[in-house]
Amino acid sequence: MCVVRRFDRRERMGFSVLIFYFLCFSMSDSNRERLSKIRSTLAACEQEHLLAHWEVLSDEQQTVLLDDIEQISFAALPQLVEKQVKSAQPFALPRTIEPADFFPAKPGIDLVGSYADAVKRGVSLIRRNKVAVMTVAGGQGTRLGFDGPKGAFCISPVKNKPLFQLFAEHIQGTNRRYASDLVWYIMTSPQNDGETKAFFEANGFFGLSPEKVRFFQQGVMPAFSREGKILLDQKHRIAFSPDGHGGSLLALRRSGVLAEMAAADIDHISYVQVDNPLVRVVDPLFIGLHDLHGSAMSSKTIPKADDLERVGNFVIGDGKTMVIEYSDLPERYARARDEAGQRRFDAASIAIHILSRSFVEELTADESAFALPWHRAEKKVPSIDAEGRRIEPERPNAIKLEAFVFDAIPMAQKPLILQTTRAEEFSPVKNPSGVDSAETSRRDLNRRSADWLDRAGFTVPRRSDGEPDGRFEISSLLALDGAHLREVMLERPNMTAGAEHYWE
């Protein structure tokens, strides 16, 4: 008969200590020292379960797990778990909400002089390389049915250029026009960093100097159980997810980019997202207004397409300029009209900003207490349970935390908003079909080129519905906007209905 002896609690603790010391002596010296520090840190934060499968991991897997754990800022973790993970805090609506003020897309007579001064100031800053371009490009093209970084997705109507190339040509065209030599900072993610760099190398950096194209990686945040425990994706990997576009500011600090900008005497950062091919990457008017106004953070806006468009809303909340997400803005505000019957809250946030470098330095001065708030979202996250089994959830089981860059606006000195037009600067590529899709973005690129030609005095063939009859593409290597096209296109171009037309 087999007798199974049960060990008491003191004996079990003794065996655990023996096993711990055995494992320590069997691992590398560097991992042994790291493990000792990490164990105490995890215990203090009640996250010891991250090492639950340590004894079955290879040396290489142990190193990977330690690397993952060291990416987490544990100093702020307990408070974050209590306030953001274990409880769902509803959005605190401001007590007073008023429409935001903005500079109009077309200046009235009272602003013509100010806009001219702003353009001169912006051009001066560009020529002296006081401005850097920053593109948030951490996403994949999965939703578009594309296997690769979203920036590599091909979109232009004639040459089918990828998004990255359109941005690169705008920077190159700016350098040509203003004799500048701007630096382009591209934020990748751990998932697409290698592919993105390889894509640029394979395409010769699209004519830009490799030294002027700098990559840095987005930060990550662990996914949590509802009880506040960090989830494991594998026994040796933490379930990480990107920390949101607001995390890009923290990534600037951690990657050393902020220090690099300071050393290069760069004062302003032109912030754009990679999924919007119409964006004017470097805009002298916008830069000049931002600088002359003394703004720490400036933003562009467009009128909303409809009351309930799924975009953020610029407002004045309790006296501060801010963005309220469409999901948080009560419908009574979204549908409100003024005495003239116009939409009261009609300033859409389109993720085009300029940030002063000094402001980003202030926001990220204490990495363990990032100035921007974290937003909570319940998601389905595959993970490893206590027995090491892979769990594929059928419903949301985890909490993800993200920071949003527009949350910096209320903290900024003299925030400024400049209105632009949807036709000129906003047609993102987000969905496989329908609104904000590759189809609508190509259509809008085509329309904009045709409009520039019309404004330059060249009649574009059009169909009966008013759409351009053919495909039209104007490279930023030739012209940066419609006014610039009038300056450089001196001869009447040949345009045939139904044909493809390209100018460079």
**Position 90 confidence tier, pLDDT thresholds 50, 70, 90:** confident
State residue 221's pLDDT score: 93
The average pLDDT across 304-308 equals 96
Number of C-beta neighbours around residue 132 at 10 A: 23
Report the distance separating Cα 318 and Cα 343, nearest Å.
20
The average pLDDT across 295-318 equals 97
* pLDDT above 70: residue 26: no
State residue 333's pLDDT score: 97
Structural contact between residues 246 and 407, judged by C-beta atoms closer than 8 angstroms: yes
State residue 12's pLDDT score: 46
* pLDDT above 70: residue 61: yes
Structural contact between residues 273 and 136, judged by C-beta atoms closer than 8 angstroms: yes
Where exactly are the structural domains of the chain?
9-74, 97-436, 437-504
Residue-averaged pLDDT of the chain: 92
The average pLDDT across 312-317 equals 98
State residue 369's pLDDT score: 75
State residue 189's pLDDT score: 93
Taking only the tens place, the pLDDT of each residue in 134-193 is 999 999 999 999 999 999 999 999 999 999 999 999 999 999 999 999 999 999 999 999
Report the distance separating Cα 329 and Cα 304, nearest Å.
14
The predicted model scores a pTM of: 0.90
State residue 31's pLDDT score: 80
User: Buried b / exposed e across 434-470, counting CB within 10 Å, b at 16+?
Assistant: eebbbebbbebbbbbbbbbbeebebebeeeeeeebbb
Nearest to 138 by CA among 261, 300, 246, 266: 246
**Position 8 confidence tier, pLDDT thresholds 50, 70, 90:** low
Report the distance separating Cα 180 and Cα 182, nearest Å.
6
Taking only the tens place, the pLDDT of each residue in 227-283 is 999 999 999 999 998 899 999 999 999 999 999 999 999 999 999 999 999 999 999
State residue 14's pLDDT score: 52
Helix 112-127 to helix 284-293 angle (10° resolution) is: 100
* pLDDT above 50: residue 4: no
* pLDDT above 50: residue 7: no
State residue 16's pLDDT score: 47
State residue 274's pLDDT score: 97
Query: Could you write out the three-class secondary structure of 142-200?
Result: HHHCCCCEHHHCECCCCCCCEHHHHHHHHHHHHHHHHCCCCCEEEEECCCCHHHHHHHH
Instruction: Classify 97-436 by CATH class.
Output: alpha beta
What one-letter code names the amino acid at 63?
T
Q: How many residues does the chain have?
A: 504
CA dihedral 367, 368, 374, 376 (to 10 degrees): 130
* pLDDT above 90: residue 22: no
Report the distance separating Cα 381 and Cα 86, nearest Å.
16
Radius of gyration of the chain (CA): 26
What is the distance in angstroms between the CA of the first residue and the CA of the last residue of the chain? Answer: 89
State residue 152's pLDDT score: 98
Taking only the tens place, the pLDDT of each residue in 396-455 is 999 999 999 999 999 999 999 999 999 999 999 999 899 999 999 999 999 999 999 999
